[in-house]
Amino acid sequence: MATTSVVIIQPPLAQLNGPYPSGAYLSAFFRVLPGVSAVRWIDAGNLLFEEIYSREGLSRLFSLSGDAALSLASRQKGDEAGAETAYQLRRFVSSAGRWVSWIDGIVSILRGGSRELSHAFVRSPEAPRGARMDSFLSGLGSEPGPDDARMLATLALEDIADYIAVAYDSEFSLVRYAESIATSERSFARIEVAIDRPAMRDFYAPALGRMWDSLGTTPAGRADRILFCLSVPFPGCLVGALATARSIRARYGERAVITMGGGYVNTELRNLSDGPLFSYVDALSLDRGYGGYAALLGIDPAFDPFAETSSPAPAVSIPVPALITPRDPGWKRVLECPAEYLAFERRVTESLIPDYSDADFSRYPRLADDPNPMHRLWSDGAWIKAYLAHGCYWHRCSFCDVSLDYIASYRPVRTRRLYEGLRRQAVEKGVPGIHLVDEAAPPRALRDFALANIEASRAKDDAGNRVAVGDDAGLIPFWGNIRFEKSFDRDLADFLSAGGLVAVSGGIEIASPEGFKSVDKGIDLENLVAVCAAFKEAGVLVHAYLIYGYWDEDAQGVIDSAETMRQLFSLGLVDSAFWHKFVLTRHSRAYKEYRAGLRKGLEPIELPGDFADNDLGFKGEGDSSRYTDPLDAALQAWMAGEGLDKPVRKWFPFPMPAPRIGADVIERYVEGYEARRDAERNKAFDPASRYFWAGTKPVPVTDGLVWWYLGEEVRFPADKELSELVARAVSGDECDPAILARLSRAAFKALRRHGLLRIGQSAVIASP
């Protein structure tokens, strides 16, 4: 009977600092299926990066582009911008030898290279320089040191990318390729041309050829057929995916069955079932893919790869997969989850742990591309990525694709099982950090994840001191996306921080009372302030996503949202933010309601074409473009702690209305939050609640006890008997309710203010 091997490929360039998680999930999925002879996962984005950013790669680049760069420099206009472009082009060509000599060292610095090399790179007059590097060095205000090397090395990569885009391939970018071509592109013909652009032709195609040579004729083991799965999460990965598919077909011919899935496919191409794209790929995989691929492979839908049984599996069984091919009857070009596989897909979603065994994290550069500590998290560190729940438990925001599986089909995972699998891989791979990539991580699942992290990292010796156990990894830091909802009170924020949470990001969207209602966020401004304050008091970084240009937003809405953000930054409630321009999508709630006659002011514009069709135009969308530069300028200043006292209207070079947001509204909401927080911590002991100790171990002093909570010293005056009782009450992470009940109300309240957290009802947060 025919057997199948599977090759999963992440085409360039989803991200640079680590592997995109879709390949890890698909690897784990195919490895639990019967009859799949072998599975291989390849990050071709890293392949392209290494092909260019190496001694051989830069030598080839300058050989291919040097003459054109000098010719372009000679044709620049005599204005300031033209003179600067000409200067940089000539400097690059002149310094080509130095770039070639230093590039491997620059990359090694970003991969954790030696301190000696860092000293040399920031100081040596022989080290190459570009415009971004010059700007950074001139802004330091002091001599550069080795701690500046990673930032300088990151800017070196960006300077090279700028040179490539100007002198060699205008569609090149350090992350993504030809994204401007693929984004919302209605014509496949215009995308197809980009496959033969210089970077794809001269660097990516040869790299793929060598990769196939190294893998042999059967790249994932002995098999009759090879299933290739290409993941396309972003428009900037599409051209690379098509180039990969063409190379696969040229090498493996009809033995290869090529499928393409991912976020871009699920949103932009889900209505596509015919056309020239299918000369490159055989099928599109929609949504999670588990049910569709299982049907393609002939897996019994009753099969449960995660069933726990003490008896041997019955001898009857699941057939060896017989892959349906484009030449077989019943072949489908669009792989959706058949109805009979819905329960199978649900079981897989709940129990699957992403498998990073094929990832070599040492090959990824850790970029230091921004001094903002929150922004740095995305690129500074590889992070093992996973989600606590598939989909979004709110799924009501009017701008969002709420009708699609990745939002609408909410399914939490088995938290303890996921944590244990991620921790094991974090230790094995030497990447002690987890990025939760949920649309919005559920508060309870986050709490359980933090609890598992605490329990795995702590034990006590005979003296009662906490010690790391097992893998010696200690508490693994993690971060992820949330909704700013009221569940995240101060107790939960402190507990998550104690459990390893270092940062959260979440959508504020239109930061005004009217804006929240317009997009149906399910939160209000007072609620938002309370959640941000709770996390900031707990030492957790906060990032906000924002939208402008919403179809019914006017200048008043823009200025109100900007004023709210100014006050949030001024009071230290957010660390970073990003403004996105609103895009109307076919699968959004707003468009669905328009179709039902419920959005009278919305006038979508259908664009002709034969390809991507999710993004729609709408009447008046161009009017908001004038806000882009002022909003970005204000945000960049606020993130740097600058311009916070500047009236928000002065960021706009054209008249804007006065904000309706009072100058002290956020401050008053903070005061309200503090009053509610204190009232909660002044409540009497509740025997039905579960309490957790987040402070250090109390130790005796002459007049009582001393410990540290959130980095601050706490002194507890008490007599010997009360001190002993307090010490016993908080001797474990989870506090003994019988001992807490014996404390005086004053002592209990003091503990609640300084490390004793109420983390829910005792029956609710039991370990899963």
Shared domain for 256 and 115, answered yes or no, is no
Let me know if residue 365 belongs to a domain.
Answer: no
Structural domain for 252, as ranges? 4-48+182-351
Domain tally, the chain: 4
Cis previous bond, 13, omega within 30: yes
- Collect all residues with Cβ–Cβ distance below 8 Å to 307 and sequence separation of at least 6: none
Does pLDDT of 315 surpass 70?
no
Of 128, 148, 176, the residue that ends a domain is 176
* pLDDT at site 320: 59
Q: Is residue 280 domain-shared with residue 204, that is, in the same domain? A: yes
677 in any annotated domain = no
3-state secondary structure of 756: strand
pLDDT over 70 (residue 766): no
> Looking at residue 767, what is its pLDDT?
31
Q: Which pLDDT value is given to residue 430?
A: 92
Contacts of range 600-606, beta carbons closer than 8 Å, 24 or more positions apart = 601/551, 601/552, 602/551, 602/552
Task: Give mean pLDDT, residues 302-325.
Answer: 67
Higher per-residue pLDDT: 174 or 633: 633
Q: For residue 94, what is the DSSP state? A: H
Determine which of 180-184, 666-670, 709-713 has the lowest per-residue pLDDT on average: 180-184
Q: Are residues 13 and 69 in the same domain?
A: no
Distance CA 24, CA 26 (A): 6
Pair (444, 533) in one structural domain:
yes
Q: CA of 729: how far to CAs of 467, 540, 694, 720, 747, in Å?
A: 20, 27, 12, 14, 11
Lowest mean pLDDT among 118-132, 323-337, 354-368, 417-431: 323-337
Which of 670, 699, 731 is the last residue in one of the domains? 670
- Does residue 377 carry a pLDDT above 70? yes
**Do both 39 and 67 map to the same domain?**
no
* Residue % of the chain over a pLDDT of 70: 93
Name the least confident of 363-377, 420-434, 519-533, 576-590. 363-377
Residue 693 lies inside a defined structural domain of this protein: yes
CATH number, domain with residue 475: 3.20.20.70
Assigned domain for 675 exists: no
Q: Are residues 213 and 337 in the same domain?
A: yes
The token pair at 634 is 């204000």
Lowest mean pLDDT among 369-378, 396-405, 674-683: 369-378
Mean pLDDT of the region 213-235: 79
- Distance CA(100)–CA(108), nearest Å, equals 14
Both tokens assigned to 59: 């030598």
Q: What is the pLDDT of residue 606?
A: 86
Distance in angstroms (rounded) separating the CA atoms of residues 367 and 150: 7
Domain boundary among 126, 158, 176: 176
Tell me which of 83-97, 183-197, 252-266, 354-368 is least confident: 183-197
Pairing, β 283-285 against β 334-335: parallel
Residue 384 pLDDT class (50, 70, 90 cuts):
very high
Pairwise CA distance, residues 449 & 496, whole Å: 9
Residue 63: what residue type? S
Q: Is residue 55 over pLDDT 90?
A: yes
Identify residue 589 by its one-letter amino acid code: R
Residue 113: the pLDDT is: 81
Within a domain: residue 319? yes
Tokens 């401007």, residue located: 180
Residue 630 confidence (pLDDT): 97
- Are the C-beta atoms of residues 448 and 415 closer than 8 Å to each other? yes
Return the pLDDT at 763: 40
- Provide, rounded to the nearest whole percent, the portion of the chain with pLDDT above 90: 75
User: Do 41 and 55 lie in a common domain?
Assistant: no
The answer as to whether 548 is a domain residue is yes
Q: Residue 397 to residues 504, 522, 557, 765: CA-CA distances in angstroms?
A: 19, 8, 18, 29
Helical pair 80-94 and 96-110, crossing angle rounded to 10 deg: 90
Mean pLDDT of 660-684: 96
User: pLDDT at residue 317 above 60?
Assistant: no
The 10s digit of each residue's pLDDT in 246-255 is: 999 999 998 8
Query: With 70 as the cut, is the pLDDT of residue 469 above it?
Result: no
Q: What pLDDT does residue 762 have?
A: 55
Q: Answer whether residue 356 is part of any domain.
A: no
Whether 365 shows a pLDDT value over 90: the answer reads yes
Secondary structure, 3-state, 19-71: CCHHHHHHHHHHHCCCCEEEEEEEEHHHHHHHHHCCHHHHHHHHHHHHHHHHH
Report residue 415 CA to chain centroid gap.
Answer: 19
Cα distance between residue 409 and residue 1, in whole Å: 36
pLDDT value of position 176: 67
Angle formed by the axes of helices 665-681 and 525-537, nearest 10°: 60
Contact predicate 239/177, CB 8 Å: yes
Q: Residue 227 contacts by C-beta under 8 Å, 6 or more apart in sequence?
A: 4, 5, 6, 7, 257, 259, 293, 296, 297, 323
Q: How confident is the model at residue 471 (pLDDT cuts 50, 70, 90)?
A: low
Q: Which amino acid is at 305?
A: P
pLDDT above 80 (res 649): yes
pLDDT digits (tens, 9 = 90+) for 155-211: 999 999 999 999 999 989 887 666 666 677 788 988 999 999 999 999 999 999 999
Decide if pLDDT at 534 tops 80. Answer: yes
Task: Give the pLDDT mean for 560-564.
Answer: 97
If asked whether residues 99 and 186 sit together in one domain, one would say no
Residue 730: DSSP 8-state: T
pLDDT computed for residue 598 by the predictor: 92
pLDDT, residue 2, reads 60
Are 649 and 687 in the same domain? Answer: no
- The answer to which of 80-89, 187-196, 388-397, 528-537 has the lowest mean pLDDT is 187-196
Asked whether residue 407 falls in the same domain as residue 546, the answer is yes
Q: Per-residue pLDDT averaged across 530-554, rounded?
A: 96
Same domain, 297 and 402: no
Q: Which of 437, 406, 357 is nearest to 30 (CA)?
A: 357
| pLDDT value of residue 309 | 60
Does residue 33 form part of some domain? yes
Q: Does position 35 have pLDDT exceeding 90, yes or no?
A: no
**Span 591-612, mean pLDDT?**
90
pLDDT attached to residue 222: 54
User: What does the pLDDT average to over 114-143?
Assistant: 92
Q: What pLDDT is attached to residue 316? A: 46
134 and 196 share one domain: no
Q: How much is the average pLDDT of 53-82?
A: 95
pLDDT above 60 (res 40): yes
Q: How far is CA 764 from CA 448, 495, 689, 690, 691, in A?
A: 10, 15, 9, 9, 12
Query: What digits encode the pLDDT tens for the residues 490-503?
Result: 999 999 999 999 99
